[in-house]
C-alpha cells in the first residue's frame, strides 16, 4: 500500500498556461438546463457580454465572438482583411508567432517572416527596415504576438505602432493577445492596435471554445475591400447583428456565455487596473523565487530581461531530464500540474525534457502562488535538482508588498 501513498489528494492545481483555473462562479453559472436561444435572458445577457468584453480589450470599437479556440480566432481575424496574394509582415518571437504566420500562409497570404526567436525580442529597427522597403505599401497587416506563450516573451504593441507611424506605413497592426488578455496591460485603442485576438480559456477563465476578435474601424474598412470571406468567419454580422443568431453564425454557445458572464463579473468587479496589478505582483513573486533558485544549480528563466517578461506565463529551463522529472513528481505526488515546454524540441528529443512552464493567468491569488512555489521547491528537493536557497522568502517579500501598479 505505501507505494500508493502520496500528498496529492485534495484540490488539484492546474498551473499550465491555458486552460487556466476556472472559478467556482464560472463553473456554477454553467451548471444549468439548456436555455431558449431565440429570446429571453440569453439575448439580453449577450449585449452586456459584448460591452464588457470591449472593456477588457479597452476598445470602443468592434467585437466579434466565434465558437472555436484561439487557432480559429487567428483564422477569423486574418480572413476578414487578407486573402490569397496579399502580403503580411510577421514580427515573431517564437512558436505562436510562427503558428499565426503559418495560418496566414495557408490562407494564401504571402508572409514576410521576421523571426526574432534567437534574439529573444522584436528588433524594431528590422521591422522599420522591412516597412520602409515596402515603398508601394503592399503589406496590409503587421502581425505581432503580445505574449508568446512558448517563450513567455512579451512584445509591447506600442513599439510596433510607433514603427508603423514613424515609417508612415498604413498596414493594420494585428496582435495575438490570446495568452495576455486579462493578465498583461493592454490598451487596444490608446495603443493604436487595429485587430486583437483572444480566447476564452486563459485570462478570461472560461473553458476553451470561444475566440474573440476585436477590430478597429480602419480594419472594418479593409474588410469591405475583401471578396469571398466565408460566411462563418465574416465578422461584420457578428459585430453588428440584425438578429440574434448572427452574433454566433448559428446557435449560441449557451453555457460558455453563462460562464463568460460570471467571469466578466469577476474581472470588472475587481477592475481592470487591479487585475493587471495583481498579475504583475504575482508574476514578480514567481520571478523572485526563480532567481533565488537559479543562484545555484541549473534553473534558468527563458527571458532574462524583466521588461520583456509576460505576467501570465513563465518559461523555464533545467538540465537533462529534470524538467520532465519535476513535472511528473509534482503532478503525481502533490497535485500540481506544470506546463510542458513548447517550441524548443519535439517530445522524444533529449532537449524536450529540460523545459517547463508555469501558467499564472486568470484566477490566481497570493496563497496559490506561494503554494505553487513551495510545491516546485519540494519537487526539486525530491528529484535532487540543485537550487539556490531563499526562494520562498523572496517570493513572500513580493507578495507582502501587494499589487504592483507601476507598469
Ligand X SMILES: *Cc1c(COP(=O)(O)O)cnc(C)c1O
Which positions touch ligand X (CB under 6 A)?
Answer: 18, 69-71, 96, 145, 147, 149, 176, 178-179, 199, 208
Q: Which is nearer to ligand X, 153 or 289 (CB)?
A: 153
CA nearest 176: which of 226, 142, 210, 201? 142
Residue 68 Cβ vs ligand X, minimum distance, rounded to whole Å: 8
Q: Which is nearer to ligand X, 59 or 149 (CB)?
A: 149
Cell of 135: 515603398
Q: Which is nearer to ligand X, 49 or 68 (CB)?
A: 68
> Which residues touch 278 (CB under 8 Å, ≥6 apart)?
270, 364, 365, 403
Cell of 239: 459585430
Residue 177 Cβ vs ligand X, minimum distance, rounded to whole Å: 8
- In total, the chain counts a number of residues equal to 407
Residue 201 Cβ vs ligand X, minimum distance, rounded to whole Å: 6
Q: Which is nearer to ligand X, 199 or 323 (CB)?
A: 199
Handedness of CA 45, 46, 51, 54 (dihedral sign): positive
Residue 188 Cβ vs ligand X, minimum distance, rounded to whole Å: 16
Residue 367 Cβ vs ligand X, minimum distance, rounded to whole Å: 25
Give the DSSP H/E element, type plus range, for residue 202: none
Q: How many CB atoms lie within 10 A of CB 58?
A: 18
Residue 178 Cβ vs ligand X, minimum distance, rounded to whole Å: 4
Nearest position to ligand X, beta carbon? 70
The backbone torsions φ and ψ at residue 139, rounded to the nearest 5 degrees and listed phi first, read -70, 120
Give the DSSP H/E element, type plus range, for residue 332: helix 322-334
Q: Which is nearer to ligand X, 192 or 208 (CB)?
A: 208
What does each C-alpha distance from 365 to 21, 84, 369, 389, 405 come to in angstroms? 11, 46, 6, 23, 16
Q: Which is nearer to ligand X, 80 or 152 (CB)?
A: 152
Q: Which is nearer to ligand X, 176 or 184 (CB)?
A: 176
Residue 95 Cβ vs ligand X, minimum distance, rounded to whole Å: 9
Tell me the C-alpha distance between 20 and 26, whole Å: 12
Amino acid at each position: 500500500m505505501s507505494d500508493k501513498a502520496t500528498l496529492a489528494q485534495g484540490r488539484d492545481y492546474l498551473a499550465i498556461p491555458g486552460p487556466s483555473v476556472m472559478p467556482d462562479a464560472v463553473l456554477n453559472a454553467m451548471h444549468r438546463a439548456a436555455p431558449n436561444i431565440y429570446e429571453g435572458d440569453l439575448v439580453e445577457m449577450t449585449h452586456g457580454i459584448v460591452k464588457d468584453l470591449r472593456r477588457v480589450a479597452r476598445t470602443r470599437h468592434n467585437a466579434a465572438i466565434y465558437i472555436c479556440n484561439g487557432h480559429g480566432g487567428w483564422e477569423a481575424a486574418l480572413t476578414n482583411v487578407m486573402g490569397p496574394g496579399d502580403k503580411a509582415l510577421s514580427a515573431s518571437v517564437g512558436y505562436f508567432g510562427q503558428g499565426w504566420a503559418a495560418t496566414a500562409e495557408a490562407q494564401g497570404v504571402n508572409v514576410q517572416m521576421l523571426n526574432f526567436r534567437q534574439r529573444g525580442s522584436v528588433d524594431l529597427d528590422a521591422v522599420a527596415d522591412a516597412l520602409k522597403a515596402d515603398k508601394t505599401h503592399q503589406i496590409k497587416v503587421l502581425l505581432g504576438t503580445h505574449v508568446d506563450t512558448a517563450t513567455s516573451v512579451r512584445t509591447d504593441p506600442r513599439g510596433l505602432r510607433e514603427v508603423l507611424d514613424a515609417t508612415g506605413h498604413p498596414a493594420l497592426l494585428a496582435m495575438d493577445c490570446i495568452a495576455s488578455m486579462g493578465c498583461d496591460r493592454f490598451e487596444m485603442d490608446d495603443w493604436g492596435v487595429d485587430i486583437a485576438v483572444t480566447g476564452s480559456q486563459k485570462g478570461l477563465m472560461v473553458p476553451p471554445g470561444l475566440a474573440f476578435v476585436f477590430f478597429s474601424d480602419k480594419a472594418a474598412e479593409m474588410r469591405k475591400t475583401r471578396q469571398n470571406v466565408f460566411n462563418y468567419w465574416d465578422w461584420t454580422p457578428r459585430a453588428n447583428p440584425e438578429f440574434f443568431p448572427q452574433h454566433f453564425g448559428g446557435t449560441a454557445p449557451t453555457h460558455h456565455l453563462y460562464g463568460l458572464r460570471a467571469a466578466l463579473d469577476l474581472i470588472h468587479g475587481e477592475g481592470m487596473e487591479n487585475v493587471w496589478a495583481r498579475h504583475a505582483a504575482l508574476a514578480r513573486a514567481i520571478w523572485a523565487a526563480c532567481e533565488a533558485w537559479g543562484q545555484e544549480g541549473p534553473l534558468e528563466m527563458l527571458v532574462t530581461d524583466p521588461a520583456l517578461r509576460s505576467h501570465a506565463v513563465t518559461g523555464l529551463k533545467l538540465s537533462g531530464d529534470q524538467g520532465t522529472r519535476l513535472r511528473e513528481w509534482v503532478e503525481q505526488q502533490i497535485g500540481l500540474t506544470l506546463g510542458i515546454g513548447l517550441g524548443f524540441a519535439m517530445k522524444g528529443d533529449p532537449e524536450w525534457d529540460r523545459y517547463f512552464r508555469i501558467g499564472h493567468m486568470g484566477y490566481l491569488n497570493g496563497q496559490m502562488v506561494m503554494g505553487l512555489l513551495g510545491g516546485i521547491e519540494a519537487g526539486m528537493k525530491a528529484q535532487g535538482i540543485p537550487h539556490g536557497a531563499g526562494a520562498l522568502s523572496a517570493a513572500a517579500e513580493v507578495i507582502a508588498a501587494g499589487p504592483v501598479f507601476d507598469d
